[in-house]
Structure 1
Amino acid sequence: MPDTTDAAEGLTVGQVSKRLDVTVRALHHWDETGLARPSLRTAAGYRLYTAADLERLHRVVVYRELGLGLDKIRHVLDDPDSDVTGALRTQRRQVAERIERLQRLGTGLDRMIEAHEGGLPLTLEQQAAIFGPRWDTEGPAEARRRYGDTTQWRQYAERAASRSPEEWQAVTEEVAALDRALADAMDAGVAPGSAEAGRLVERHREVFASYFPLTRQMQVCLARMYESDPGFAAHYDGVRPGLAAWFRRVVDADARAHGIDPDTATWQGES
């Protein structure tokens, strides 16, 4: 049945709660803090709100829904000299700032979802401009199918989601520069196990950190894949014939120098 009690007779806390859609707990709190107290009490000591009390509560609810804090609401209601319009304008600016932050958050969430699901939060046009016309646009999706359940994929997606096209361009240039450095070192006869080879191995780990952290054991597994996987081998041998096999020997020698047996290295191993 609808509540037809006349406010002039006094409304109970429960009746006010239903009428204003405010919790009883909130009404008790406002009473205890003096923000909105009932003016009447029954003989049994129960609170009763008058029509004037109800009007004040209406105002409290309105300002609370606009986002004003209880102290600010008290100031607006009780101080005749309070600048209500100024308080509302300040609140409006703060709301606009929160909306902007939430919009940025929404964009970030969209990019994170796209990175986790698709591997690369870039348009096809951006991918072509950054990675070149020979870029395989299906590559990220294939990587997602192969590695999507791994820790490294999640780490990659977290980095990818926050990276701008310009930052992707910088990563691409770093990778290309590393490829050239590896090819030049092979041409120059840099021997596996040498200090220069060790610096190149460390540089590879640093560059690869753009995707996810790479331990030395994981690097051994990756170099093994560079040589055995037709796609990776074609890339490195396209930079310089024999580069994939040479790089694996360099990585294996560096691993041995750090106490790691390349033949037993595992992807999840610690460096």
Structure 2
Amino acid sequence: MKVKEVSELAGVSVRTLHHYDEIGLLSPEHTTEAGYRLYSDRDLETLQQILFFKELDLPLKQIKDILRDPSFDRQEALELHRKMLLEKRSRIDRVLDTLEKTIRQAKGEIQMTNEEKFEGFDFSNNPYEQEARERWGDKAVDDSNKKLGSLSQAERKALEEGMNAIYAKLAALRHGPADSDEAQAAIKEWYDFLNGGNFGAHYSLEAFRGLGQMYVDDERFTRNIDKFGEGLARFLRDGMAVYADRNA
């Protein structure tokens, strides 16, 4: 199958398939003399596997490492996908049920207990925690968790508002040069915010640079950051790298 046909079949863009090829995640087995990519049935199986992993919010780099691991067992992975997606569906169903009840309460049809208002929400398992431990070590993560766990609801809200304010400022600057004085002043605010005791850990300049790179490498972070403005993750990466270089 040609790339356009695969795109229509799988519901992913041609650009995405080209990107998968460029990073070595999914390179078609065959290419015509004219340079057209041709996908085999085995390629389609690999693409399906990639999309299953993406449903679990795994970054592309991690998916690539998993698929290249000699011990990778496709059947075992499929069984695990099924289990995890069923758990995900169950949690979403509970949240939807809470939402439906909340709508009914807003209409005056029912009265919810405080416990019912929060059924289905569970943020005790941070999907990024293991990755953070691998990148920055257990101590930084444990310190951060300890600090965040000690905050009151009002303190957590203030922390979130402070972070959002900095992101909003940076989003307004994202179309300009990342090395401008104004952009670097905002980047410094972000560096100081991270190291100001808010998260209970200290980021060295090199770790700060690495964090900015992860904003782009990990599409989960890119997606969340770019909610403030498309391209903000790339602007942050560039600005944080400039800041690290200038202050080294």
* TM bracket, shorter-chain basis: 0.3 to 0.5
Structure 2-normalised TM-score? Answer: 0.45
Task: Report which structure shows greater RCO (CA 8 Å, sep ≥6).
Answer: 2
TM-score (normalizing by structure 1) = 0.42
Q: Which has the larger Rg?
A: 1
